[in-house]
Structure formats: C-alpha cells, structure tokens
C-alpha cells in the first residue's frame, strides 16, 4: 500500500475499497516507492505527478512520468505504476454522477468535454488521457486540491459549493493544458453533440442505430456523424460502444451477474458482439477482466447520506 493511502477516507471489506460514508469526492497525496499492480475502479480519477518518476501502465501502453504530468482516467479503465522512484501523486477521485449533475455544464465546453470524456475515450486514449502542466499551473492545481482539506470536519451540505468550485478551477487549469496540444478545443460544443450524449447515456440498453439517433435529433445521419466526430474525435456509435463497455466493466467489478446478462443489460445484442467490443476497449476478455480486477476493485460510494467528513 503506498504511503498516504492509509489516510484516505476509505474502509475495506472483502478486498473492496469504499469511500467513507457521505463523501462527495476525494483528494489526497500518495507516495509510491514500490510498484502498484494494475487495478480498476468505478469512479473518475485524476493523478497529478508532483515529484519523482515512474512508469504508468494502462491499455494505451507505458507512459514515463515526471513532475507536472497529469493522468485523467475514466471509470473501469485498468492502470498501475511500475519502476517507481519516490513517485509522489496528488490524486482526485469523483463519481461520474457529479459530472451528470452539478458539473453537467462541462459538456458545453469543448476543452472540458475532451478532458473528462471524449479524450480518454479516443482510440489512442483507451480510457486514459495524459497531459502536462508547467510549474505555475502545477502549483495552482495543488492549491485547488489542497484547500478543501480544511473543510473535512464540516457537513457536505455546508461546503458542497466549495468542492464544486475547486473542481471547476482544477478542470479549467487542466483544460488549458490540453489546449496546448489540441488548439481546436477552444469553442463551445454544438447543442446537438450534448443532446446526442444525453440520449445515448439515458437509454444505454436501447438498440440504437445511427438513423434512429439522427431522427431523434432531426438531423441527417451523415451530418450528425461529421458534427459529432469533429467535436469528440469519435462517431456517435463508437461513443455509445465506449459508454456500454464502461458500464459493463463496472458491473463486472461490483456485481455477481453473469457476463452474458451484463452484456444484455448494457445493450449488446449478443454475446459475440459483447466479447468483441469489450476486448477491443480493455485488451482483455470480460471473464479475464473480472478475475483479475474484481477482488481488489476500488469504489467510491459517493451518495449514501447527506453528511460526511471528507472531501
């Protein structure tokens, strides 16, 4: 266990980590002096390298890390750390529910939509996005993550706005860093893109076709595809496939349902399609993914009560 993890607001049971009751999100530092084996979790995670060096392992391949590097990880994306040399991380974990509720407006900003959703979803990302902060931006991000720690002993209802505000400042800083390598991410998202995402996510198990989706939006299929891909880097149906695979992986980690039943629950028409899509996204069969990661999967239980002690 890395130094700092024992201080997180976590309890354990059956090798499953859970955030302390009432927690809205979590931010804290961890020092890795030894390898951290590949694992998966069902929440968003942002890791900022403060010092040291190491190798990040994920489906996208090995990434050599140094101070200022940032990792944005979608739920269920497996990852780990190797060859760690005093690797100090400041991590932030939060539920995708937060993105669909208080932070739903981030979908309207191409920078933030790319940072939190479509960038990690890209073929190159495979669930993880990597960017880099200059020293001034790195210092600012540390402040955004450290400040809410002073509020740990207040009810969530008293400081929810502070958490949302600090996360917004953090996302803005990271979005500006991403723009350095993706200059086109400076305008607002077309309303049809936001509505497409909303429709697909709200009816994940529906047997969508591009024609059906375009009809719901009163757009030509070809135009919708060009519009969606220009903003996100993915065609609409590829975005749907990633949403389904991510949700299916979460069910594999945290339920006892059969692989076949989970595939049907997220909208795959048959076991062959489910198996092919899952392996393409995670590099592992669904059965292997569950066997390798389910016993030690991390999970944030973010909404069990109205009060809590932790960010």
pLDDT band at 20 (very low <50, low <70, confident <90, very high): very low
Three-state DSSP state, 26: strand
Which residues have C-beta within 8 Å of that of residue 280, sequence separation ≥ 6? none
Residue 68 has pLDDT above 70, yes or no: yes
Q: What is the pLDDT of residues 76-121, one digit of tens each?
A: 899 999 999 999 999 988 888 888 888 888 888 888 988 998 888 8
For range 155-167, the mean pLDDT: 80
Q: Check residue 54 and give its pLDDT.
A: 97
Residue 21 has pLDDT above 90, yes or no: no
Q: Check residue 288 and give its pLDDT.
A: 93
Tokens encoding 191 = 């309303």
Strands 298-299 and 16-19: parallel
CA 72 centroid distance within chain = 6
Residues 43 and 75 sit within 8 Å (Cβ to Cβ): yes
**CA 149, CA 153: separation in Å to the nearest integer?**
9
- Taking the whole predicted model, whether its pTM rises above 0.85 is answered as no
pLDDT band at 18 (very low <50, low <70, confident <90, very high): very low
Domains of the chain: 5-184 (2.60.120.280), 191-291 (1.10.10.60)
Q: Check residue 95 and give its pLDDT.
A: 82
Tokens encoding 251 = 């069910």
pLDDT band at 296 (very low <50, low <70, confident <90, very high): low
């Amino acid at each position: 266990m890395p130094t700092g993890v024992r201080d997180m607001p976590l309890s354990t049971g059956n090798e499953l980590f859970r955030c302390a009751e009432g927690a809205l999100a979590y931010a804290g530092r961890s020092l890795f002096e030894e390898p951290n084996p590949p694992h998966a979790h069902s929440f968003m995670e942002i890791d900022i390298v403060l010092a040291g060096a190491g190798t990040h392992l994920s489906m996208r391949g090995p990434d050599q890390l140094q101070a200022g590097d940032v990792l944005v990880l979608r739920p269920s994306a497996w990852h780990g750390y190797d060859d760690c040399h005093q690797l100090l991380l400041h991590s932030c974990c939060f539920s995708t529910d937060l993105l669909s509720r208080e932070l739903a407006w981030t979908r309207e900003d191409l920078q933030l939509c790319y940072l939190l959703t479509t960038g990690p979803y890209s073929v190159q990302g495979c669930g993880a996005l990597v960017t880099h902060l200059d020293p001034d931006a790195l210092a600012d991000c540390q402040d955004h993550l450290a400040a809410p720690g002073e509020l740990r002993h207040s009810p969530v209802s008293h400081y929810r706005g502070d958490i949302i505000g600090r996360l917004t400042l953090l996302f803005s800083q990271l979005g500006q860093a991403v723009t350095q390598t993706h200059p086109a991410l400076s305008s607002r998202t077309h309303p049809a893109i936001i509505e497409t995402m909303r429709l697909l996510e709200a009816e994940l198990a529906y047997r969508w076709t591009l024609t059906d989706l375009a009809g719901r939006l009163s757009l030509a299929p070809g135009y919708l595809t060009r519009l969606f891909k220009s903003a996100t880097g993915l065609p609409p149906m590829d975005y749907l496939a990633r949403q389904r695979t991510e949700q299916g992986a979460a069910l594999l980690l945290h339920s006892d349902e059969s692989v076949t039943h989970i595939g049907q629950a997220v909208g795959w028409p048959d076991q062959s399609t489910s198996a092919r899509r899952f392996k393409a996204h995670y590099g592992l069969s669904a059965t292997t993914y569950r066997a390798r990661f389910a016993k030690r999967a991390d999970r944030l239980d973010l909404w069990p009560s109205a009060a809590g002690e932790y960010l």
